[in-house]
Amino acid sequence: SQQGEEDPQALSIQEGENATMNCSYKTSINNLQWYRQNSGRGLVHLILIRSNEREKHSGRLRVTLDTSKKSSSLLITASRAADTASYFCATDAPGGGNKLTFGTGTQLKVEL
Amino acid sequence: DAGVIQSPRHEVTEMGQEVTLRCKPISGHNSLFWYRQTMMRGLELLIYFNNNVPIDDSGMPEDRFSAKMPNASFSTLKIQPSEPRDSAVYFCASSFPSGRAGELFFGEGSRLTVL
Protein backbone atom coordinates (compact mmCIF):
# COMPACT_ATOMS: atom_id res chain seq x y z
CA SER A 1 0.00 0.00 0.00
CA GLN A 2 1.16 3.50 -0.74
CA GLN A 3 -0.45 4.81 2.41
CA GLY A 4 1.77 7.26 4.22
CA GLU A 5 2.53 7.10 7.87
CA GLU A 6 2.63 10.31 9.85
CA ASP A 7 4.79 10.71 12.87
CA PRO A 8 4.02 11.53 15.60
CA GLN A 9 0.42 10.38 15.83
CA ALA A 10 -0.27 13.17 18.29
CA LEU A 11 1.60 16.33 19.22
CA SER A 12 0.87 18.85 21.94
CA ILE A 13 2.73 22.17 22.07
CA GLN A 14 2.40 25.64 23.50
CA GLU A 15 1.32 28.59 21.41
CA GLY A 16 4.29 30.27 19.78
CA GLU A 17 6.31 27.06 19.50
CA ASN A 18 7.08 25.34 16.22
CA ALA A 19 5.37 22.08 15.26
CA THR A 20 7.03 19.49 13.06
CA MET A 21 5.21 16.55 11.54
CA ASN A 22 6.75 13.83 9.42
CA CYS A 23 5.36 11.63 6.69
CA SER A 24 6.86 8.49 5.20
CA TYR A 25 5.57 6.70 2.13
CA LYS A 26 6.39 3.49 0.32
CA THR A 27 6.61 3.95 -3.44
CA SER A 28 7.75 6.61 -5.89
CA ILE A 29 5.54 9.65 -6.22
CA ASN A 30 4.66 12.48 -8.61
CA ASN A 31 3.93 14.91 -5.82
CA LEU A 32 3.11 15.08 -2.14
CA GLN A 33 0.46 17.24 -0.55
CA TRP A 34 -0.41 18.25 2.98
CA TYR A 35 -3.98 18.73 4.20
CA ARG A 36 -5.50 19.97 7.41
CA GLN A 37 -8.73 18.75 9.01
CA ASN A 38 -10.47 20.55 11.82
CA SER A 39 -12.64 18.41 14.04
CA GLY A 40 -15.89 17.47 12.32
CA ARG A 41 -14.95 19.22 9.08
CA GLY A 42 -13.65 18.31 5.64
CA LEU A 43 -10.00 18.36 4.67
CA VAL A 44 -8.43 21.55 3.41
CA HIS A 45 -5.41 21.64 1.11
CA LEU A 46 -2.34 23.38 2.54
CA ILE A 47 0.55 22.89 0.17
CA LEU A 48 1.81 20.72 -2.70
CA ILE A 49 5.43 19.81 -3.34
CA ARG A 50 6.54 18.09 -6.52
CA SER A 51 8.93 15.16 -6.60
CA ASN A 52 11.68 17.33 -8.12
CA GLU A 53 11.40 19.95 -5.36
CA ARG A 54 13.15 19.74 -2.02
CA GLU A 55 11.57 22.55 -0.04
CA LYS A 56 8.57 24.82 -0.28
CA HIS A 57 7.22 27.64 1.84
CA SER A 58 3.77 29.11 2.26
CA GLY A 59 3.26 31.65 5.02
CA ARG A 60 4.11 29.92 8.32
CA LEU A 61 4.34 26.54 6.61
CA ARG A 62 7.55 24.93 5.43
CA VAL A 63 7.53 21.58 3.67
CA THR A 64 10.53 19.47 2.81
CA LEU A 65 10.70 16.40 0.64
CA ASP A 66 13.42 13.75 0.54
CA THR A 67 12.58 11.28 -2.21
CA SER A 68 15.65 9.15 -1.43
CA LYS A 69 14.23 8.52 2.04
CA LYS A 70 10.62 8.60 0.87
CA SER A 71 9.78 11.12 3.53
CA SER A 72 8.42 14.63 3.97
CA SER A 73 8.10 17.02 6.87
CA LEU A 74 5.68 19.84 7.59
CA LEU A 75 6.85 22.62 9.86
CA ILE A 76 4.40 25.13 11.27
CA THR A 77 6.25 28.06 12.79
CA ALA A 78 4.97 30.28 15.61
CA SER A 79 1.95 28.06 16.15
CA ARG A 80 -1.41 29.43 17.22
CA ALA A 81 -4.33 27.84 19.03
CA ALA A 82 -6.22 27.99 15.72
CA ASP A 83 -3.66 25.57 14.23
CA THR A 84 -5.15 22.80 16.40
CA ALA A 85 -6.26 20.19 13.86
CA SER A 86 -5.25 16.91 12.25
CA TYR A 87 -2.69 17.07 9.48
CA PHE A 88 -2.43 14.54 6.68
CA CYS A 89 0.05 13.93 3.92
CA ALA A 90 -1.19 12.58 0.60
CA THR A 91 0.67 11.13 -2.34
CA ASP A 92 -0.03 10.15 -5.89
CA ALA A 93 1.93 7.48 -7.70
CA PRO A 94 3.19 7.63 -11.30
CA GLY A 95 0.60 6.00 -13.51
CA GLY A 96 -2.00 6.29 -10.79
CA GLY A 97 -3.95 9.01 -12.54
CA ASN A 98 -5.08 11.76 -10.24
CA LYS A 99 -5.81 9.47 -7.30
CA LEU A 100 -4.46 10.55 -3.90
CA THR A 101 -3.61 8.18 -1.06
CA PHE A 102 -3.72 9.71 2.41
CA GLY A 103 -1.57 8.98 5.41
CA THR A 104 -2.71 8.22 8.92
CA GLY A 105 -2.50 11.79 10.17
CA THR A 106 -0.98 13.73 13.07
CA GLN A 107 -3.27 15.29 15.65
CA LEU A 108 -1.83 18.64 16.68
CA LYS A 109 -2.99 20.45 19.76
CA VAL A 110 -1.74 23.97 20.38
CA GLU A 111 -2.38 25.15 23.91
CA LEU A 112 -2.60 28.72 25.09
CA ASP B 1 -18.09 29.65 -4.89
CA ALA B 2 -20.21 27.38 -2.68
CA GLY B 3 -17.60 24.63 -2.52
CA VAL B 4 -18.37 20.93 -2.61
CA ILE B 5 -21.82 20.30 -1.19
CA GLN B 6 -22.73 17.02 0.47
CA SER B 7 -26.02 15.81 1.85
CA PRO B 8 -27.13 14.66 4.27
CA ARG B 9 -24.62 15.85 6.86
CA HIS B 10 -25.81 13.21 9.31
CA GLU B 11 -27.68 10.00 8.72
CA VAL B 12 -28.76 7.43 11.29
CA THR B 13 -30.32 4.29 9.93
CA GLU B 14 -30.96 0.71 10.84
CA MET B 15 -29.10 -2.27 9.50
CA GLY B 16 -30.52 -3.46 6.20
CA GLN B 17 -31.79 -0.07 5.10
CA GLU B 18 -30.67 1.63 1.89
CA VAL B 19 -28.52 4.73 2.27
CA THR B 20 -27.94 7.32 -0.45
CA LEU B 21 -25.31 10.02 -0.04
CA ARG B 22 -25.21 12.94 -2.44
CA CYS B 23 -22.53 15.25 -3.72
CA LYS B 24 -22.42 18.38 -5.84
CA PRO B 25 -18.85 19.15 -6.95
CA ILE B 26 -17.45 22.59 -7.60
CA SER B 27 -18.57 23.89 -10.98
CA GLY B 28 -15.90 23.33 -13.61
CA HIS B 29 -14.16 20.52 -11.73
CA ASN B 30 -14.01 17.39 -13.83
CA SER B 31 -12.78 14.89 -11.27
CA LEU B 32 -14.84 13.63 -8.34
CA PHE B 33 -13.72 11.38 -5.50
CA TRP B 34 -15.53 9.49 -2.74
CA TYR B 35 -13.52 8.79 0.42
CA ARG B 36 -14.49 7.05 3.65
CA GLN B 37 -12.93 7.99 7.00
CA THR B 38 -12.90 5.80 10.09
CA MET B 39 -10.72 5.75 13.18
CA MET B 40 -9.50 2.24 12.38
CA ARG B 41 -8.73 2.60 8.67
CA GLY B 42 -8.20 6.33 8.21
CA LEU B 43 -9.10 7.88 4.86
CA GLU B 44 -9.80 5.34 2.14
CA LEU B 45 -10.51 6.15 -1.50
CA LEU B 46 -13.63 4.32 -2.57
CA ILE B 47 -14.03 5.44 -6.18
CA TYR B 48 -13.20 8.34 -8.45
CA PHE B 49 -14.61 9.73 -11.68
CA ASN B 50 -13.09 11.77 -14.49
CA ASN B 51 -15.59 13.53 -16.76
CA ASN B 52 -18.43 11.53 -15.16
CA VAL B 53 -16.76 8.20 -16.00
CA PRO B 54 -15.67 5.87 -13.16
CA ILE B 55 -11.91 5.43 -13.42
CA ASP B 56 -10.99 3.39 -10.37
CA ASP B 57 -13.50 1.65 -8.11
CA SER B 58 -11.03 -0.77 -6.56
CA GLY B 59 -11.67 0.75 -3.15
CA MET B 60 -15.39 0.00 -3.13
CA PRO B 61 -15.74 -2.51 -0.29
CA GLU B 62 -18.22 -4.88 -1.88
CA ASP B 63 -21.28 -5.15 -4.08
CA ARG B 64 -23.39 -3.43 -1.48
CA PHE B 65 -21.73 -0.17 -2.49
CA SER B 66 -22.41 1.59 -5.77
CA ALA B 67 -21.65 5.07 -7.08
CA LYS B 68 -22.99 7.02 -10.01
CA MET B 69 -22.27 10.33 -11.66
CA PRO B 70 -25.09 10.99 -14.10
CA ASN B 71 -23.82 14.47 -14.94
CA ALA B 72 -20.99 16.87 -14.14
CA SER B 73 -22.81 18.44 -11.20
CA PHE B 74 -24.09 15.47 -9.24
CA SER B 75 -22.93 12.16 -7.82
CA THR B 76 -24.42 9.59 -5.48
CA LEU B 77 -22.95 6.87 -3.29
CA LYS B 78 -25.44 4.17 -2.38
CA ILE B 79 -25.19 1.42 0.22
CA GLN B 80 -27.77 -1.33 0.02
CA PRO B 81 -28.20 -3.05 2.39
CA SER B 82 -26.34 -1.09 5.04
CA GLU B 83 -24.45 -2.78 7.87
CA PRO B 84 -23.09 -1.43 11.19
CA ARG B 85 -19.52 -1.70 9.87
CA ASP B 86 -20.42 0.90 7.21
CA SER B 87 -20.61 3.53 9.93
CA ALA B 88 -18.11 6.22 8.97
CA VAL B 89 -17.77 9.72 7.60
CA TYR B 90 -18.05 9.75 3.83
CA PHE B 91 -16.34 12.59 2.01
CA CYS B 92 -16.78 13.78 -1.52
CA ALA B 93 -14.01 15.82 -3.13
CA SER B 94 -13.51 17.39 -6.52
CA SER B 95 -10.59 18.75 -8.53
CA PHE B 96 -9.49 19.95 -11.92
CA PRO B 97 -8.15 17.07 -14.00
CA SER B 98 -4.48 17.47 -14.59
CA GLY B 99 -3.10 14.06 -15.43
CA ARG B 100 -1.31 14.24 -12.13
CA ALA B 101 -3.16 14.62 -8.84
CA GLY B 102 -3.86 18.22 -8.02
CA GLU B 103 -5.47 19.91 -5.08
CA LEU B 104 -8.62 18.24 -3.82
CA PHE B 105 -11.52 20.32 -2.53
CA PHE B 106 -13.46 18.40 0.11
CA GLY B 107 -17.04 18.69 1.22
CA GLU B 108 -17.93 18.72 4.90
CA GLY B 109 -18.75 15.02 4.87
CA SER B 110 -21.75 12.83 5.58
CA ARG B 111 -21.59 11.10 8.95
CA LEU B 112 -23.34 7.74 8.67
CA THR B 113 -24.37 5.67 11.67
CA VAL B 114 -25.86 2.25 11.02
CA LEU B 115 -27.50 0.72 14.08
Residues A16-20, mean pLDDT to the nearest whole number = 97
Residue B62 confidence (pLDDT) above 90:
no
What number of helices (H) and strands (E) belong to chain A? 0, 11
Task: Please report the pLDDT score of residue A33 as a whole number.
Answer: 95
Range of the domain at A67: 4-111
Q: Who has greater pLDDT, A3 or A41? A: A41
- CATH number of the domain residue A79 falls in: 2.60.40.10
Best of B9, B32, B104 to disrupt the A interface (most A CBs within 10 Å) is B104
Q: Which of A41, A88, A100 sits opposite B101 (nearest CB)?
A: A100
For B2-61, how does the pLDDT look when each residue is reduced to its tens digit (9 = 90+)? Answer: 899 999 999 999 999 999 999 999 999 999 999 999 999 999 999 999 999 999 999 998
Contact assignment for B42 to A103 by CB distance below 8 Å: yes
Q: Which of B50, B104, B109 sits opposite A45 (nearest CB)?
A: B104
Sign of the C-alpha dihedral computed for residues B96, B98, B99 and B102 taken in this order: negative
Contact B42, B27 (CB under 8 A): no
Task: Decide if B56 and A97 are in contact by the 8 Å CB cutoff.
Answer: yes
Q: Is A59 part of the contact surface with chain B (CB cutoff 8 Å)?
A: no
Measured in angstroms, the CA of A60 and the nearest CA of chain B are apart by 19
With a cut of 70, say whether residue A10 has pLDDT above it. yes
- What's A40's DSSP letter? T
**pLDDT per position as a tens digit, B70-104:** 999 999 999 999 999 999 999 999 998 665 568 99
Number of structural domains found in chain A: 1
Average pLDDT over residues A53-58: 96
B100 contact residues in A (CB cutoff 8 A): 30-31, 92, 98
pLDDT of residue A94: 80
Residue A1 is predicted with a pLDDT of 43
